[in-house]
């Protein structure tokens, strides 16, 4: 059953949960209150043993237009900005820390911190009318925190083009550059995301969590350090009950029965 705050809704099904940004009149701007509700929802999902995959999406005409500029211009105190941007960093980091894979389901625009959220998610599927930008330079506020996951997704030159110009890129360009995994017709977005989520959810929750944790631990490390992380993850994984069940099931030509351990 859906659980709701004022600004975010968490809908939990059998295997796939959905975190819905519920501020359509503000294009799902990521105010401090929105981000705090998102963090609470992520904490709930992290301890939910039935949820294998989380989908993040936005209600209304946009995925997310980034930080709430009305909120930001109403207060120029340093401690306000410290809290706002530290909360944003906590939110993006929490997406990576979540044991479940996270899919961004993107329609409309995903700009500034909204684009950052797309890049921070493990996977992203976009409708063919979606658009992406880091436009802060155009309003005198360089998208410094969005550039962290965006640059890691699309590379230095392309990220700097987005950051220096603030121009929108369309969904096909986002796909070509590696910001999203798939682009589908708008009327296929729901089905495509659901199919992908359920395909992932068919795997062992234990193995998904172990693999995700190892991926982010080794990402950006030099090769020898990355192999140190990956080697230890393989050793741990190979001893798991689900690894032995999966290997036996493959050899016996049957579907595995996961114990999630």
What are the E-state strand segments in the chain?
A: 3-4, 8-12, 16-21, 53-58, 102-106, 109-111, 123-127, 131-133, 169-170, 182-184
Tens-digit pLDDT string for the chain (261 aa): 445 458 999 999 889 999 999 999 999 999 999 999 999 999 999 999 999 999 999 999 999 999 999 999 998 889 999 999 999 999 999 999 999 999 999 999 999 999 999 999 999 999 999 999 999 999 999 999 999 999 999 999 999 999 999 999 999 999 999 999 999 999 999 999 999 999 999 999 999 999 999 999 999 899 999 999 999 999 999 999 999 999 999 999 999 999 988
| Residue-wise DSSP of 69-116 | HHHHHT---HHHHHHHHHHHHHHHHHHHH-SS-EEEEE-SEEETHHHH
In the DSSP assignment, the letter for residue 14 is S
The number of CA neighbours under 13 Å toward the Cβ of 250 is 6
Burial class (CB in 10 A: 0-12, 13-18, 19+), 34: buried
User: Contact at 8 Å (CB) between 55 and 197?
Assistant: yes
Only one residue has tokens 């479940």, namely: 100
Residue 5's pLDDT is: 58
Q: Which residues pair with residue 125 across a beta bridge? A: 105, 182
Fold of 3-201: 2-enoyl-CoA Hydratase; Chain A, domain 1 (3.90.226)
Cα 168 to Cα 110: distance, rounded to the nearest angstrom: 10
Angle value at C-alpha 17, between 14 and 20, nearest 5 degrees? 145
């Amino acid at each position: 059953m859906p659980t709701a705050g004022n600004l975010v809704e968490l809908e939990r099904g059998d295997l796939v949960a959905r975190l819905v940004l519920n501020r359509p009149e503000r294009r799902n701007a990521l105010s401090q209150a929105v981000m705090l509700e998102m963090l609470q929802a992520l904490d709930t999902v992290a301890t939910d043993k039935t949820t294998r995959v989380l989908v993040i999406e936005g209600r209304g005409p946009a995925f997310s237009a980034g930080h709430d500029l009305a909120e930001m211009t109403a207060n120029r105190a340093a401690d306000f900005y410290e809290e706002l941007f530290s909360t944003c960093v906590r939110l993006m980091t929490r997406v990576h820390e979540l044991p479940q894979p996270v899919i961004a389901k993107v329609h409309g625009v995903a700009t500034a911190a909204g684009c950052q959220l797309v890049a921070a998610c493990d996977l992203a599927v976009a409708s063919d009318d979606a658009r992406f930008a880091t436009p802060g330079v155009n309003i005198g506020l360089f998208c410094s925190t969005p550039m962290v996951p965006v640059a890691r997704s699309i590379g230095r030159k392309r990220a700097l083009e987005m950051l220096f110009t603030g121009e929108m890129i369309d969904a096909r360009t986002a796909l070509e550059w590696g910001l999203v995994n798939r682009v589908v017709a708008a009327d296929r977005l729901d089905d495509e995301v659901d199919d992908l989520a359920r395909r992932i959810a068919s795997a062992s929750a234990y193995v998904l969590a172990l693999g995700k944790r190892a991926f982010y631990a080794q990402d950006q490390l030099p090769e020898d350090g990355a192999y140190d992380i990956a080697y230890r993850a393989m050793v741990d994984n190979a001893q798991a009950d689900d690894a032995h069940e999966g290997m036996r099931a493959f050899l016996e030509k049957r579907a595995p029965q996961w114990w999630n351990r």
